[in-house]
Amino acid sequence: MLPDVFKGPYTVSDYKALYNLKSLNLGYNELHFLDADLFEHVPNLEELILCSNNFQVIDGLSEVAISGLTSLKVLDISYMEIKTLPQTLLHGPRDLETLIAAGNLFSKLPDALSFAKNLARLVLNENPIEDLQGDNIFPVMTNLKYLSMSYMPKLRHIGVGAMSELQNLTELILSDNKFLVEIDELALAKNLNDGQYMNYPPLEKVYLNNCNLTKIPKSFLVRWDKLSVLDLRFNPWTCEESNDYLINILLPQINKTTPLLAKNVQCDSPVELKNVDILKVATDHLIDSKKSSGIFWIGLLVFILIAIPITLGIIVLYRRGCFSLNRNDSGASRALYNRTKFNDDFQI
């Protein structure tokens, strides 16, 4: 595709630029690269859609073409089979607000995100990004408000500080990550002044449905009550005392604000509570009764374990004659009683 495709009406000396063209959709066109000067006639372009073009790699020419769009606000590069982004790709479009990069082959977060200073919405769905921990965490993105990472085929753990630099995040979507088993309690927390107090983003909507989570730590967020939406459905939750905050605080709160989202939040363990709605567990105090029952059986077991050796000990001691009180008494009686000797002279 050549730059002349977008040249405007001809004037006496040159072609006019298409100053009024704000949105351009080049998706599904079997493009493999972009000419470096492709957008020279559309200087005010604000939205560029390149989705479902088999680029596989964004080469130098394509990088120049995209990074030169200084007015760009929305960039859709989803389903392009790319494994990473050129580090300076987002350095030019400083006003970029929305980046859609779903359905690519990213195995880690692109370093280019550190240049997207004004990015407000980021979609990374369906990328094989692995654990968010160590060096693979989000850079400082102070304007990011919306983050979606759903249908991630390899995401298992979200570690300490993975999202701590997203301090203005209001909506977090982590749904349908079938292998996600753990979100660290400090994944969102940021220590601002090296003290004991942590800062958290002002989240309003959190979607954790259809994952493989068993527990959710209380300190993952501070102001759970500020959430207008919290979706925890279809996870294999553990209904034990260690998950007390989820059972007795969060679910009743969800049931008050969004009753639909309180359904299909069920226990997976222990076995006796499997497939029981957590809301029922909270309402009927099933954990308390289970705990009391457990204490009873533990007490009974301890009693039996103590009683058996004591009983056996008593039996053994008895058989060895250690309990000889009655025997001594009978011996004393025999000592006082002398059998009559028939050979003695009978005396009157």
**pLDDT for residue 332:** 44
Residue 311 has pLDDT above 90, yes or no: no
Q: Are strands 182-183 and 47-49 parallel, antiparallel or unpaired?
A: unpaired
Q: What is the maximum alpha-carbon separation in the chain?
A: 171
Q: Kindly provide the residue ranges of all beta strands, DSSP E only, lying in 6-91, ordered along the sequence.
A: 23-25, 47-49, 74-76
**pLDDT for residue 15:** 65
CA dihedral 307, 308, 314, 318 (to 10 degrees): 150
Please state which of the ranges 113-127, 182-196, 235-249, 299-313 shows the lowest mean pLDDT: 299-313
Confidence of residue 286 (pLDDT cuts 50, 70, 90): low
- The model carries a pTM of 0.80
**pLDDT for residue 304:** 79
Confidence of residue 303 (pLDDT cuts 50, 70, 90): confident
DSSP helix/strand/coil, 4:
helix
CA dihedral 201, 207, 211, 216 (to 10 degrees): 50
CA-wise closest residue to 239 among 269, 277, 265:
269
**pLDDT for residue 341:** 45
Helix, strand, coil content of the chain in percent (nearest 5): 30, 10, 60
Question: Which residue would you say has higher pLDDT here, 212 or 343?
Answer: 212
CA-wise closest residue to 153 among 212, 111, 206, 205:
212
**pLDDT for residue 1:** 62
Confidence of residue 194 (pLDDT cuts 50, 70, 90): confident
Please state which of the ranges 125-134, 176-185, 332-341 shows the lowest mean pLDDT: 332-341
Cα 186 off chain centre by: 11
Per cent of the chain over pLDDT 90 is: 71
Q: How far is CA 184 from CA 126, 174, 180, in A?
A: 22, 14, 11
Confidence of residue 47 (pLDDT cuts 50, 70, 90): very high
Q: What is the pLDDT of residues 115-169, one digit of tens each?
A: 999 999 999 999 999 999 999 999 999 999 999 999 999 999 999 999 999 999 9
Distance CA 113, CA 132 (A): 15
- Cα angle value 150/155/158 (rounded, 5°): 100
CA-wise closest residue to 244 among 218, 268, 209, 224:
218
Cis peptide before 217 (omega within 30 of 0): no
Give the mean pLDDT of 34-60. 95
Q: What does pLDDT average to over the chain? A: 87
Distance CA 177, CA 313 (A): 59
DSSP per residue over 140-185, as a string? --TT--EEE--S-SS--EE-TTTTTT-TT--EEE-TT-TT--EE-T
Give the mean pLDDT of 271-282. 92
Residue 291 has pLDDT above 70, yes or no: no
CA-wise closest residue to 147 among 179, 177, 123:
123
Cα 299 off chain centre by: 37
Residue 196 has pLDDT above 60, yes or no: yes
Give the mean pLDDT of 22-44. 94
